[in-house]
Amino acid sequence: MNPYLEALQPKLSKSDYEELCAIDNPIVHEFIAKASDLCHPDNIFICSDSPEDIAYVRRQAVASGEEKAILSLPGHTVHFDGEYDQGRDRQATKYLVPRGITLSKALNQIDRQEGLAEVKALLKDSMRGRTMIVRFISLGPTNSIFTILGLQCTDSWYVAHTEDLLYRPGYREFLKAGPKSDFLRVLHSAGKLNDDMVSVEHEKKRIYIDNMDNTIYSVNTQYAGNSVGFKKLAFRLAIRKANYEGWLAEHMLLMGVHGPNGRKTYFAGAFPSACGKTSTAMLPGETILGDDIAYIRNIDAVARAVNVESGIFGIIQDVNPEDDALIYKVLTSPGEIIFSNVLVKDGKPYWLGMGCELPKEGINFSGAWYEGKKDEAGNEIPPAHKNARYAVALKALENCDPELDNSMGVELGGIMYGGRDTKAYVPVQQSFDWCHGIIAYGASLETETTFATVGQEGVPEINMMSIQDFISIPLGQNVRNNLEFGKKLKKPPVIFGVNYFLRARNNGKYLNAIQDKHVWIKWMELRVHNEVEAIKTPTGYIPKYEDLRRLFSQVLGKNYTKEDYIEQFTIRVPENLAKIERVQRFYQENVSDTPLELFGILYLQRERLLKAKANFGDYIAPENFER
């Protein structure tokens, strides 16, 4: 008899034991048995993805107290994380690196043996008195070249329920995969909980990634970005797999953009968290394929992409009926949704920026809340957290793209990179070619830190391809992989840089309205098909005024003035030169394996800017480049 199954049998019901035995993979049995031996749960639940099992997970999420059924709309529940567990935790997230090996200095890392000893000591006996839930996940569509299998053991019913909304079921895929199939592994425990079923030992929070064993360990945290292992944690392992196999795992949205005569063009887009990724993917009139993670493969010399997930774990702040009508409608209608860290009053969830006055009291992550309530440090507690979230299945959205589960993915026409760049880049521009776009917009992506990550907000930093927090290979190698990927395609996707956060030089006001991004998207769609002309500037091709004026009228019903155009698309030479210096310094100081091509492309961009400055000065209106 299989010794691992024999060890597990006392903790399994008869049906669960049979479901586990049906998976012909001893490594699956070994991982679960070792997780049980370490964490010592009272019993183990094997989720087979049957309707009965999924319903049971949902009921237990509420029965355990991890989710509260205090919202009036059917299917809506709310979960609260601890005060110090409200976002991805960079300091607690580290790579386990074997002695003698060093990753890029920009990445958190710890000696593998030291890290394993530490995290396993924290996980030891962590599930006593609880059930260990075993979930099987398919990352990417099933029966596909894109499919990656995942297995998570957790003691959190909230985490297990969230996975139902965010991922495709994988139990049947494991049944078919055979005894030698590979899979990503996650072991998670919420750790010590208080009476409100919230993780409390935040100082012992650890999220460790073991590249050598394709395993993630997460303990003393419930926040889904730290605990739902197949979000950004397993993403790190997928990046490593993609590096070895010659494809791309990217922090990107996927969307279908409608063009003239019924045409639909698919775009991918890389944005750091809280920089407009989900709101771009949810633009009205377009279709959403995904809002977070994409796998991109070269199939017959064509770039094709899939959404790794099948749901959204979205930031809810500023979702309102005017700017985000589609998602607001879903969030205020009956259906299965998990809200987290919002304010609840009289059975209704409230969040910051929802477009109405918020109650003066209610229940939030701090417990009973009232206006003016302060935390232990004397800081006023907001009614809802800035990083409050919602989890919902994509198919609950009326604009879900019909190709979501296409096993071959969709052909990419364009790729956009965007961050919080308040000073330099124009709102939208097109690269000169694939390599220029990868370097000038992707590898040079600069943003300000936001509330989506634990730590100080508003700090400018390089966030290469919006993937820097998740990279598990040398940073220079990732740049090289992107450069080489495009060179092997018959027709590479057109690369664009977007910037929703440009501010005026005189008063610091944002120069773009939230809805303006829809116009930039429509212009990009036309450029992919060469249906509008553009102006060549030192940093890329920018739109012509007449094209934007027409699009603003068609898409938003707005009058777009020449004055707005000039202010938004003036090339700011000093700020662009300073940006190049920061990017170059980052790679020189942190990335020992930077491809020389990066420095060459930055050098040429600097030379173009200096030449333009000599001809026209520091701030150059678009019309100067049309001469």
Q: Which one of 39, 47, 275, 435 is the catalytic residue?
A: 275
Closest C-alpha to 340, from 327, 351, 329: 351
- Quote the CA–CA distance of 14 and 19 in Å, as a whole number: 9
- Quote the CA–CA distance of 236 and 139 in Å, as a whole number: 13
Residues 549 and 417 in one domain: yes
Q: Which domain holds residue 29?
A: 3-65+85-243
Residue 458: pLDDT band by 50, 70, 90 thresholds? low
pLDDT tens for each residue of 303-332:
999 999 999 999 999 999 988 888 999 999
End position of a domain, from candidates 396, 417, 440:
396
Residues 504 and 571 in one domain: yes
Residues 213 and 271 in one domain: no
Residues 319 and 192 in one domain: no
By the 8 A CB rule, do 459 and 449 touch?
yes
Q: What crossing angle do the helices spanning 475-487 and 232-245 adopt, rounded to 10°?
A: 60
- Report the domain count for the chain: 3
End position of a domain, from candidates 213, 243, 273:
243
In 389-512, which ranges are continuous DSSP H helix? 434-437, 475-487
| Beta-sheet strands, E only, within 228-284 | 248-250, 252-258, 264-270
Residue 204: pLDDT band by 50, 70, 90 thresholds? very high
Residues 257 and 174 in one domain: no
Residues 293 and 324 in one domain: no
Predicted confidence (pLDDT) at residue 37 exceeds the cutoff of 60: yes
Query: Which H, E and C letters describe 325-376, residue by residue?
Result: HHHHHHHCCCCCEEEECCEEECCEEECCCCCCCCCCEEEECCEEEECCCECC
pLDDT tens for each residue of 406-446:
999 999 999 999 998 999 999 999 999 999 999 999 999 99
Please name the residue that has the structure tokens 């957290």. 385
Q: Which residues contact 604 (CB under 8 A, 6 or more apart)?
A: none
Residue 173 belongs to a domain? yes
Residue 514 belongs to a domain? yes
- Quote the CA–CA distance of 29 and 34 in Å, as a whole number: 9
Residues 278 and 330 in one domain: no
Residue 72 belongs to a domain? no
Report the pLDDT value the prediction gives residue 106, as an integer from 0 to 100.
67
Residue 403 belongs to a domain? no
Query: Which H, E and C letters describe 149-215, residue by residue?
Result: EEEEEECCHHHHHHHHHHCEECHHHHHHHCCCCCCEEEEEECCCECCCCCECCHHHCEEEEEHHHCE
By the 8 A CB rule, do 549 and 560 touch?
yes
Predicted confidence (pLDDT) at residue 234 exceeds the cutoff of 80: yes
- Quote the CA–CA distance of 340 and 365 in Å, as a whole number: 9
| Beta-carbon count within 10 A of 138 CB | 25
- Quote the CA–CA distance of 130 and 43 in Å, as a whole number: 7
Phi-psi region of 350 (alpha: psi -120 to 50; beta: other; left: phi over 0): beta
Predicted confidence (pLDDT) at residue 247 exceeds the cutoff of 80: yes
By the 8 A CB rule, do 107 and 209 touch?
no
Q: What is the mean pLDDT of residues 601-610?
A: 98
To the nearest whole number, what is the mean pLDDT of the chain? 94
* DSSP type of residue 68: B
Where residue 353 sits, what CATH number does that domain have?
2.170.8.10
- Quote the CA–CA distance of 603 and 608 in Å, as a whole number: 9
Residues 339 and 296 in one domain: no
Residues 20 and 107 in one domain: yes
Residue 97 belongs to a domain? yes
Q: Report CA torsion sign: 10, 13, 14, 15.
A: negative
397 — phi, psi (to 5°)?
A: -95, 135
End position of a domain, from candidates 396, 427, 454:
396
Please name the residue that has the structure tokens 């099992």. 53
Report the pLDDT value the prediction gives residue 456, as an integer from 0 to 100.
55
Residues 475 and 548 in one domain: yes
By the 8 A CB rule, do 319 and 353 touch?
yes
Residue 435 bears catalytic tag: no
Where residue 456 sits, what CATH number does that domain have?
3.90.228.20
Residues 216 and 102 in one domain: yes
Residues 431 and 330 in one domain: no
| Beta-carbon count within 10 A of 321 CB | 14
pTM of the shown model: 0.92
